[in-house]
Amino acid sequence: MSASIYLEGGGDSKELHIRCRAGFRKLLENYGFTGRLPRLTACGGRTATFDDFQTAHATNRGSQFVGMLIDSAEPLKDLEATRQHLNDHDDWAAPVGASDEQVLFMTTCMETWIVSDRETLAAHYGSKLQKSALPSLTDLESKSRQEVQQKLAHATRKCTNSYRKGKRSFEILGKLSPTELENHLPSFRRVVRILGQEL
C-alpha cells in the first residue's frame, strides 16, 4: 500500500515547502523507512494542511493511506484520540470515514521534537548553545508550544545560526536522531508505529 502524508510547515514559500519535505524525509530515512517513504506534501499552515488532508481523504479510492502530520498545538489528553483533540481544540470535525490513525501529531509542536535531541542540538549550534535554558526532558509533551518555542529561541540566541522557523528549523529537523525522539516523545513513537504499519 502506498501512503501520502500532508505536512504542516513551509508557509507560502515554494522553497520552504521543498525544505520542509526534505527535513521530514531525512528524519524518516534516518528511522529506517528508506525505500518505502510516503509521498510527503508540505501544505503551509495548520488549517491549510487540514483542508488538503480532507480533500485527499475524500478523493482517495482506498488504495493508499492518507494522513496528516501537524502540531497538536496543545498537550493531548489521550494520545490515541486524535480526532477528538481536533474537535475540542480546533472545532474541526474529521472527514467521514477518517480514523484516529490518520491524524499524526507533533505534540505540542515541531520544536518539541527538536529540543528532545540534546546531542544533535549541541552539534548543530556549538559551544554558544545555552543548554540550561532548554526545557526539561521530563514530560516534555505536556509543555505548551509557547514555552518550548521561547526556550529554544532563548537557548540559541547567542549562536550565529540561532533558531528560527523556516529554513533553519527544517535543516535541524533532518539531523535529529529518531532514537532520541523515541526515548522522550510518545507521540513520535505513535507516528512511526502507524507509518510502520502502513508503509
Extract the C-alpha cell encoding 156. 540559541
List the one residue out of 119, 113, 143, 149 whose CA is nearest residue 131. Answer: 119
- Give the pairing type, strands 2-7 and 39-42: parallel
Segments making up each domain of the chain, as ranges: 2-110+178-198, 112-167
State residue 65 phi and psi, 5-degree precision. -85, 130
Q: What is the dihedral of CA 38, 176, 142, 169, to 10 degrees?
A: -90
* pLDDT, tens only, 19-78: 999 999 999 999 999 989 999 999 999 999 999 999 999 998 777 899 999 999 999 999
**pLDDT at res. 148:** 97
CA separation for the pair 18, 1 (Å, rounded) = 24
Q: What is the 3-state secondary structure (H, E, C) of 24-67?
A: HHHHHHHHHHCCCCCEEEECECHHHHHHHHHHHHHHCCCCEEEE
The whole-number average pLDDT for the span 126-138 is 96
> What is the per-residue pLDDT for 96?
85
3-state secondary structure of 9: strand
pLDDT value at residue 135: 97
Within 8 A by CB and 6+ apart from 178, the residues are 27, 30, 31, 32, 188, 192
| Average pLDDT for 121-149 | 96
Whats the size of the chain, residue-wise? 199
Give per-residue pLDDT as tens, 150-194: 999 999 999 999 998 888 899 999 999 999 999 999 999 999 999
Strand ranges inside the chain, DSSP E: 2-7, 39-42, 64-71, 103-106
Q: What backbone torsions phi and psi does residue 105 show, to the nearest 5 degrees?
A: -115, 140
Cβ count near 125 (within 10 Å): 20
